[in-house]
């Protein structure tokens, strides 16, 4: 679960470095508190740097930058995320095939 959220969070931050945590929460479908916790975890790991805009009209305005370590970790997370999704896809395809066979058997016995 954390890998999924961290992957998606890093992806969003890389594409939109000035996104707000409220916007991140909406995009990810998680609470603002969880976004704050995850962003802080990424900062603590050294994957993301936060820079505050002192003159911004938005008091909590930050610019999020992926560090070189963050970029490397995002690449590793991407590989893991892709493998997970491929395995999930394979399981779904097997389940669909089993259901198709069951339907075909039921239709055959109903005739």
Q: Tell whether pTM > 0.75.
A: no
Count of domains for the chain:
1
Report residue 47 as tokens. 């994957």
Task: Decide if 101 is inside a domain.
Answer: no
The CA distance from 111 to 109, in Å, is: 6
Q: Is residue 72 part of a domain?
A: yes
Residue 13 lies in a domain: yes
In a domain, 49, yes or no: yes
Digit-by-digit pLDDT tens for the chain (111 residues) are 577 889 999 999 999 999 999 999 999 999 999 999 999 999 999 999 998 765 556 555 789 999 999 999 999 999 999 999 999 999 999 999 999 999 999 988 876
Question: Tokens 């969880």 — which residue?
Answer: 34
Is residue 41 included in any domain, yes or no? Answer: yes
């Amino acid at each position: 679960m954390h890998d999924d959220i961290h992957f998606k969070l890093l992806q969003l931050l890389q594409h939109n470095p000035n996104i707000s945590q409220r916007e991140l929460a909406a995009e990810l479908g998680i609470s603002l508190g969880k976004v704050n916790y995850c962003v802080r975890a990424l900062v603590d790991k050294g994957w993301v740097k936060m820079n505050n805009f002192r003159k911004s009209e938005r008091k909590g305005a930050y610019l999020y930058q992926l560090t070189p370590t963050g970029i490397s970790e995002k690449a590793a997370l991407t590989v893991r995320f892709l493998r997970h999704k491929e395995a999930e896809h394979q399981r779904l395809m097997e389940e669909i095939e089993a259901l198709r066979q069951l339907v075909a058997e039921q239709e055959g016995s109903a005739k």
